[in-house]
Homo-oligomer: A and B are copies of this chain.
Amino acid sequence: MIKKVLKFGGTSLGSIERIQHVANIIKKEHESGCQLIVIVSAMAGKTNELVDLSKKITKNFNKRELDVLLSSGEQVTCALIAGALNELNLKAKSWLNWQVPILTEGEHTNSRIINMSIDKINKFLKVGVAIIPGFQGVSKNGDITTIGRGGSDATAVAVAKIFSADVCEIYTDVDGVYSSDPNKIPVARKIDKISYDEMLELSSLGAKVMQPSAVQTAMMYDIPLEVRSTFTNRKGTKIFSQENIDYSKSVTGVAYSRDDAKITLLGVEDKPGVAANIFEPLNKAQINVDMVIQNISSDQKTTDITFTIKREDLLNTKLILEKNNSIKYVDITYNDKVAKVSIVGAGMVSTPGVTYKMFRGLADESINILAISTSEIKLSVIIDEKNTLRAVKKLHTIFELD
């Protein structure tokens, strides 16, 4: 018998009508003969509301108690879904973090799921549907823990792995992964099948459909995922390992982000240890450096180093660089009006000319490239922010994604 994990996000559970709608989806899936474990998020907005309550008391709210507070959100949806299913004459039972139990390790508000007990729930699956709260667990000391925002995806994948489910379906408010942002690029298409790697590149670049670390776990244990909409009947996007996908196209999607800033250090002494001297203090301050480009400058004694960071970290980065006496440079420039545009595709590696095609396309639109970074399945450029959508549309067209 097929065993499925279904995960429903907060928007899918945002009202009683939606909860009843979700109960109907579950019932239909159950009638098709599957064993089902359902993972639920808190109702849309609930976790933020609880965080706000804690912040009204103090910004340094005790983390153990914050976990007790936040975990109540999924407890509510667990009970409501179980009650709604019982009302549809489908046996269903909620299992809270300590009832499974979902064992975690690590710090409060940032734990990791390490194990759970499966026998009781497996027995129950023969007669009904088990409902489990996402985002939480219990430490070996018996304290409630949470596993970070968006953690319900991680719970779903962990449950799929530990219960050896055949598939993990992520129900959300979009109907799959798109070749680009459908709100901004009207010709973007829904992708039917995508590899874990591509999904990771697309999601970390802004396709925000699933939490990246949950995709990573699924990749590591080869758990088939499917992202689909709670609100339509359409097929979603299936996520597998690359070998299960036939690549007819070199590029799968075009992603972009507009929250980057670019920093260039001009005339940096060209000697060993310089890069380390620049990036070590940034790392200490937990500033995430994304792209790094180094060119040899004309005089061969100095070099220019360019890197990008999240725009919100710019002020802090400036302070750190300007206080840093261990690096010598002629000038420093900041640009917070840049965007990153990336083409992603597992087929790129076997298709010659993709890089040239991208640069040619941007040149045809007279868009200047400020920096370039490449990986196996991704090619990113930094451009002026104002050119973002024009660049994305052009690339979407020339790589035949429209």
What residues make up the interface of A, taking CB atoms closer than 8 Å to B? Answer: 16, 19-20, 50, 53-54, 56-58, 60-62, 64-66, 68-69, 71-72, 75-76, 78-80, 82-84, 86-87, 93-94, 96, 98-99, 142, 144
Let me know if A62 and B86 touch, CB within 8 A.
Answer: yes
Let me know if B57 and A83 touch, CB within 8 A.
Answer: yes
Known contacts A62-B86, A66-B79, A83-B66; A19/B72 CB under 8 A: no
Q: Which residues from chain B contact A76 at a C-beta distance below 8 Å?
A: 50, 53, 69, 72
Let me know if A60 and B87 touch, CB within 8 A.
Answer: yes
Let me know if B56 and A83 touch, CB within 8 A.
Answer: no
What are 21 pairs between A and B in contact, CB < 8 Å? Answer: A16-B56, A16-B57, A19-B57, A20-B57, A50-B76, A53-B80, A54-B83, A57-B84, A58-B84, A61-B83, A61-B86, A61-B87, A62-B87, A64-B93, A65-B80, A65-B83, A65-B94, A68-B78, A68-B94, A69-B80, A72-B79
Let me know if A75 and B68 touch, CB within 8 A.
Answer: yes
Q: Which residue of B lies closest to A67 (CB)?
A: B79
Kindly identify which residue among B16, B57, B72, B142 contacts A87, using a CB–CB cutoff of 8 Å: B57
Query: What is the bound-complex CA distance between A19 and B58, given in angstroms?
Result: 12
Q: Which residues from chain B contact A98 at a C-beta distance below 8 Å?
A: 98
Query: What is the bound-complex CA distance between A20 and B61, given in angstroms?
Result: 13
Report the minimal beta-carbon distance from A347 to chain B, rounded to whole angstroms: 47
Let me know if B65 and A82 touch, CB within 8 A.
Answer: yes
Let me know if B99 and A83 touch, CB within 8 A.
Answer: no
Query: What is the bound-complex CA distance between A20 and B54, given in angstroms?
Result: 11
Q: Which residues from chain B contact A16 at a C-beta distance below 8 Å?
A: 53, 56-57
Query: What is the bound-complex CA distance between A65 and B20, given in angstroms?
Result: 15
A19, A57, A93, A99 — most chain B CB neighbours (10 Å): A57
Let me know if A69 and B83 touch, CB within 8 A.
Answer: yes
Query: What is the bound-complex CA distance between A320 and B167, given in angstroms?
Result: 58
Q: Which residues from chain B contact A80 at a C-beta distance below 8 Å?
A: 53-54, 57, 65, 69
Q: Which residue of B lies closest to A78 (CB)?
A: B68
Query: What is the bound-complex CA distance between A50 and B94, given in angstroms?
Result: 16
Query: What is the bound-complex CA distance between A80 and B66, given in angstroms?
Result: 8
Let me know if B96 and A83 touch, CB within 8 A.
Answer: no
19 extra interface residue pairs, beta carbon distance < 8 Å, beyond A61-B86, A96-B144: A16-B53, A16-B57, A19-B57, A53-B76, A54-B79, A54-B80, A57-B80, A62-B86, A65-B80, A65-B93, A65-B94, A66-B79, A68-B75, A68-B78, A68-B82, A68-B96, A69-B76, A69-B80, A69-B83
Query: What is the bound-complex CA distance between A142 and B98, given in angstroms?
Result: 10
Report the minimal beta-carbon distance from A192 to chain B, rounded to whole angstroms: 35
Q: Which residues from chain B contact A83 at a C-beta distance below 8 Å?
A: 54, 57-58, 61-62, 65-66, 69
Query: What is the bound-complex CA distance between A60 and B65, given in angstroms?
Result: 33
Query: What is the bound-complex CA distance between A57 and B56, given in angstroms?
Result: 32
Kindly identify which residue among B20, B58, B72, B142 contacts A72, using a CB–CB cutoff of 8 Å: B72
Report the minimal beta-carbon distance from A99 to chain B, rounded to whole angstroms: 6
Q: Which residue of B lies closest to A86 (CB)?
A: B62
Report the minimal beta-carbon distance from A85 to chain B, rounded to whole angstroms: 9
Query: What is the bound-complex CA distance between A337 and B38, given in angstroms?
Result: 54
